[in-house]
């Protein structure tokens, strides 16, 4: 029996492989799968077995899974295509008779207004209906997401978002990877749903303060209305579909959809989650790892 990690050509997948090996799992017992052979090689360098497999091709998934295997199912990054892709994975798991599915979902998907929530909720329902024992990891925001804001902040000395006073209980990818590894190697997680987040939630003012510390000059936070955001993003030549997604996410943040600071993740990994400033610095110093 193996731990099969899908999406292992991505950063989170590679980190999960790394954390599994750090917890004493033999590389021979880890099968890392993904669609990018070059990026998948980094998981192989850690000692795991590797093989190409994609969510779009059901026939590529069947040889990867065996009876009793644990499937670390990392959600697809292709928003809008997840229903069919994830259905392919769950159906392959049923055919193989895997022992458990561990799935990376999104926070409070049963009530969230985040635009990605419906696809995750749909997938959770597929998994629970499959009859396969499961553990759902509802990962909150990734601190590394905010590193992408730095170029604009550095240029203008302003942080402009639509969050208003909304708060974000983010954690770093390494925290979520460690949490997944703890669940994969520990007992008592069958048919559990965990809300994973950072220990504390921060707001736009606190993010501006973190950027101030990083840049060594004062960064001010300003809330933008949806209409103001649209004008700003159009001026930056952001594609219209990305503009609407960005506004929808910011609106959900303003409503509090990412504000739940839950202690479950830090309890499972046995340490505090990575603080905002520390996580941002790590992402900026090692962008390929974030």
CA angle at residue 43 from 74 to 178, to 5 degrees?
55
Q: What is the pLDDT of residues 26-74, one digit of tens each?
A: 999 999 999 888 889 999 999 999 999 999 988 889 999 999 999 999 9
Q: For residues 79 and 241, is the Cβ–Cβ distance under 8 A?
A: no
Domain coverage including residue 30: 3-139
Residue 30 belongs to a domain: yes
CB atoms within 10 A of CB 139: 24
Q: How many structural domains comprise the chain?
A: 2
Q: 264 vs 68, 130, 200, 212, CA distance in Å? A: 27, 26, 12, 30
Q: Residue 15 contacts by C-beta under 8 Å, 6 or more apart in sequence? A: 173, 174, 177
Residue 219 dihedral angles phi and psi, to the nearest 5°: -115, 130
**pLDDT surpasses 80 at 290:** no
Structure tokens at 12: 């989170």
| pLDDT digits 0-9 by tens, 82-139 | 999 999 999 999 999 999 999 999 999 999 999 999 999 999 999 999 999 999 999 9
CATH number of the domain enclosing 71: 3.40.50.720
Cβ within 8 Å of residue 164, ≥6 positions away: 223, 254
Indicate whether 113 and 211 sit together in one domain: no
289, pLDDT greater than 80:
no
Token code pair at residue 73: 């199912």
The rounded distance, in Å, linking the Cα atoms of 97 and 220 is 54
Residue 91 burial by Cβ neighbours in a 10 Å radius (0-12, 13-18, 19+)? middle
In a domain, 109, yes or no: yes
HSE (CB half, 13 Å, CA atoms) of 13? 31
**85 and 149 housed in the same domain:** no
The percentage of residues in the chain with a pLDDT greater than 90, rounded to a whole number, is: 84
269 found inside a domain: no
- Predicted TM-score (pTM) of the model is 0.95
Which of 70-79, 170-179, 232-241, 267-276 has the lowest average pLDDT?
232-241
Average pLDDT value for residue range 228-233? 86
Same domain, 254 and 243: yes
Residue 264 included in any domain: no
**Cα 290 → chain centroid:** 11
Residue 189 domain-assigned (yes or no): no
Establish if 184 belongs to a structural domain.
no
pLDDT above 70 as % of the chain: 99
In this structure, are residues 9 and 40 in contact, taking their beta carbons and an 8 Å threshold?
Answer: yes
- How high does pLDDT run on average in the chain? 94
d(C-alpha 94, C-alpha 111), whole Å:
28
pLDDT tens per residue, range 83-97: 999 999 999 999 999
If asked whether residues 70 and 148 sit together in one domain, one would say no
Integer Cα distance of 127 and 86 in angstroms: 9
Residue 229: per-residue pLDDT = 87
In a domain, 191, yes or no: no
Q: What number of H helices and E strands is found in the chain?
A: 12, 9
- Predicted confidence (pLDDT) per residue in 14-29, tens digit: 999 999 999 999 999 9
Which residue bears the tokens 């303060």? 209
Q: Give the pLDDT of residue 288.
A: 64
């Amino acid at each position: 029996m193996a731990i099969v990690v899908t999406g292992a050509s991505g950063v989170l997948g590679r980190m999960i492989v790394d954390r599994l090996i750090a917890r004493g799992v033999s590389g021979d017992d880890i099968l890392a799968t993904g669609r990018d052979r070059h990026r998948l090689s980094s998981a192989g360098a850690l000692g795991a077995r590797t093989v190409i497999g994609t969510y779009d091709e059901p026939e590529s998934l069947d040889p990867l899974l065996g009876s009793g295997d644990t499937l670390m199912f990392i959600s697809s990054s292709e928003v809008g295509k997840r229903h069919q892709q994830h259905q392919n994975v769950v159906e392959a798991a049923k055919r193989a008779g895997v022992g458990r599915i561990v799935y990376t979902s999104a926070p409070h998907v049963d009530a969230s207004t985040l635009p990605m929530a419906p696809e995750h909720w749909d997938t959770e329902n597929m998994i629970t209906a499959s009859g396969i024992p499961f553990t759902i990891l509802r990962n909150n925001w990734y601190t590394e997401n905010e590193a992408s804001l730095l170029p604009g902040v550095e240029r203008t000395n302003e942080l402009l978002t639509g969050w208003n006073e909304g708060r974000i209980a983010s954690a770093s990818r390494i925290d979520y990877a460690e949490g997944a590894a703890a669940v994969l190697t520990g007992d008592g997680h069958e048919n559990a749903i965990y809300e994973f987040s950072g220990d504390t939630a921060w707001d736009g003012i606190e993010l501006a303060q973190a950027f101030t510390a990083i840049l060594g000059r004062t960064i001010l936070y300003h809330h933008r209305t949806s209409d103001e955001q649209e004008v700003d993003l159009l001026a930056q030549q952001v594609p219209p579909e990305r503009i609407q997604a960005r506004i929808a996410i910011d609106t959900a943040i303003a409503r509090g959809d990412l504000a739940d600071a839950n202690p479950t993740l830090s309890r499972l990994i046995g340490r505090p989650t990575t603080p905002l400033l520390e996580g941002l610095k790590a992402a900026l110093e090692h962008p390929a790892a974030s």
